[in-house]
């Protein structure tokens, strides 16, 4: 016997729920014949020359699949194109030089390598490219890797001979024949020569070494040392810096025109604030100014 009011209330609610469920089941059972008859009528109406509902559904599904495949193909091509052609007009050394257009695979450039993942020969990511160190003649001497750390804190820098860059993937990844264990054990790298005095194991940038990452932050100067453009990129060929890609007439750092000049013979200028710039010769400056007039007209 339920003397507790709460227990009596719960019992009543259970009985009500059972009655509602029974009524719902009965309603569904009654409506089934009517639904079956309506469905049969619909199917009968679409027979004949008109396509069936199932055919419409199949056709729509095929359209969806075709649309998805096309979107995936466009995405794949967009990823590939991100590492493809850079078109620039060559600025010659001589005043009589004629302008010509070059096409450069961006994967063979500093911007296409710096920041990219470094994989071991098993395809496992072990670091990322931090910098490329070249000498005054443009020969790539070192590739600086960044390993570990959290949001740049505690990151270890290590330098390896550039010749160890054995392969570039289609997506831009760099493959090197080193392991995570090698990276952990190798001596740290520093841009400060004085750090080698404190620790003989530290590998430092050579005296004539040029940081490409810093060079990309520099400006292009005319023979009067006036800023005329930005250093947009550096292209590499067979382990050497082959061309400096110049950017100008940009809007908020975007768009604009590109020109290219041979790295060989270029003058890298170290400013008082230790910034790196490229200074054009008088003939290069004249050719560049003529190209700017042509490009902007």
In a domain, 167, yes or no: yes
Residue 138, pLDDT score: 94
Same-domain status, 96 and 241? yes
Same-domain status, 172 and 192? yes
Decide which of 210, 238, 258 is a domain's last residue.
210
Decide which of 210, 230, 254 is a domain's last residue.
210
- Alpha-carbon gap, residue 35 to 39, rounded angstroms: 6
Please give the angle made by the CA atoms of 209, 218 and 145, to the nearest 5 degrees.
Answer: 50
Terminal Cα-to-Cα distance of the chain (whole angstroms): 100
127: exposed, middle or buried (C-beta count within 10 Å: 0-12, 13-18, 19+)? buried
In a domain, 267, yes or no: yes
Domain of 121: which CATH number? Answer: 2.30.30.240
Same-domain status, 166 and 190? yes
pLDDT band of 121, cuts 50, 70, 90:
confident
- Alpha-carbon gap, residue 72 to 53, rounded angstroms: 29
Domain of 252: which CATH number? Answer: 2.30.30
- 160 or 56, greater pLDDT: 160
Domain of 240, in residue numbers: 85-105+216-296
Number of domains in the chain: 2
27: exposed, middle or buried (C-beta count within 10 Å: 0-12, 13-18, 19+)? exposed
- The single residue listed with the structure tokens 């005054």 is 136
181-201: per-residue pLDDT in tens? Answer: 999 999 999 999 888 888 888
Same-domain status, 123 and 186? yes
37-53: per-residue pLDDT in tens? Answer: 444 443 444 344 444 44
252 backbone dihedrals φ, ψ, rounded to 5°: 55, 40
**Cβ atoms of residues 183 and 147 within 8 Å:** yes
Long-range contacts of 139-143 (CB under 8 A, 24+ apart): 139/239, 139/240, 139/241, 140/236, 140/239, 140/240, 140/241, 141/206, 141/209, 142/189, 142/205, 142/209, 143/174, 143/176
- Alpha-carbon gap, residue 260 to 281, rounded angstroms: 14
In a domain, 236, yes or no: yes
In a domain, 284, yes or no: yes
Same-domain status, 181 and 259? no
DSSP 8-state class, residue 161:
E
Long-range contacts of 265-271 (CB under 8 A, 24+ apart): 265/93, 268/136, 268/210, 268/215, 269/221, 269/225
In a domain, 51, yes or no: no
**Cβ atoms of residues 260 and 90 within 8 Å:** yes
In a domain, 78, yes or no: no
Same-domain status, 242 and 120? no
Same-domain status, 167 and 150? yes
**Cβ atoms of residues 270 and 218 within 8 Å:** no
Same-domain status, 206 and 238? no
In a domain, 68, yes or no: no
64-81: per-residue pLDDT in tens? Answer: 445 544 544 443 444 444
pLDDT band of 154, cuts 50, 70, 90:
low
- Alpha-carbon gap, residue 93 to 262, rounded angstroms: 8
Same-domain status, 264 and 142? no
Same-domain status, 150 and 169? yes
Q: What is the CA radius of gyration of the chain?
A: 34
């Amino acid at each position: 016997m339920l003397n507790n009011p709460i227990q009596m209330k719960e019992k009543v609610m259970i009985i009500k729920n059972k009655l509602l469920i029974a009524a719902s089941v009965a309603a569904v059972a009654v409506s089934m014949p009517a639904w079956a008859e309506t469905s049969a009528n619909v199917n009968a109406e679409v027979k004949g020359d008109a396509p069936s509902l199932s055919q419409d559904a199949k056709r729509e599904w095929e359209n969806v699949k075709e649309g998805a495949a096309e979107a995936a193909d466009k995405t794949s091509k967009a990823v590939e194109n991100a590492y493809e052609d850079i078109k620039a007009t060559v600025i010659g050394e001589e005043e009589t030089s004629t302008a010509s257009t070059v096409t450069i695979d961006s994967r063979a450039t500093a911007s296409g390598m710096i920041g990219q993942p470094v994989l071991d020969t098993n395809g496992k990511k072990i670091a990322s490219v931090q910098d490329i160190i070249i000498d005054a003649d443009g020969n790539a001497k070192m590739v600086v890797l960044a390993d570990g750390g959290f949001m740049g804190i505690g990151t270890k820098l290590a330098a390896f001979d550039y010749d160890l860059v054995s392969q570039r993937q289609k997506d831009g990844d760099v493959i090197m024949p080193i392991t995570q264990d090698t990276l952990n054990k190798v001596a740290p790298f520093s841009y400060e020569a004085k750090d080698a005095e404190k620790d003989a194991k530290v590998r430092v940038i050579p005296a004539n070494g040029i940081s490409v990452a810093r060079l990309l932050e520099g400006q292009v100067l005319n023979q009067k040392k006036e800023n005329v453009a930005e250093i947009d990129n550096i292209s590499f060929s067979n382990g050497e810096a082959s061309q400096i890609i110049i950017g100008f007439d940009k809007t908020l750092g975007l768009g604009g025109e590109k020109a290219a000049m041979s790295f060989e013979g270029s003058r890298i200028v170290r400013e008082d604030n230790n910034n790196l710039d490229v200074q054009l010769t008088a003939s290069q400056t004249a050719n560049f100014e003529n190209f700017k007039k042509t490009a902007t007209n």
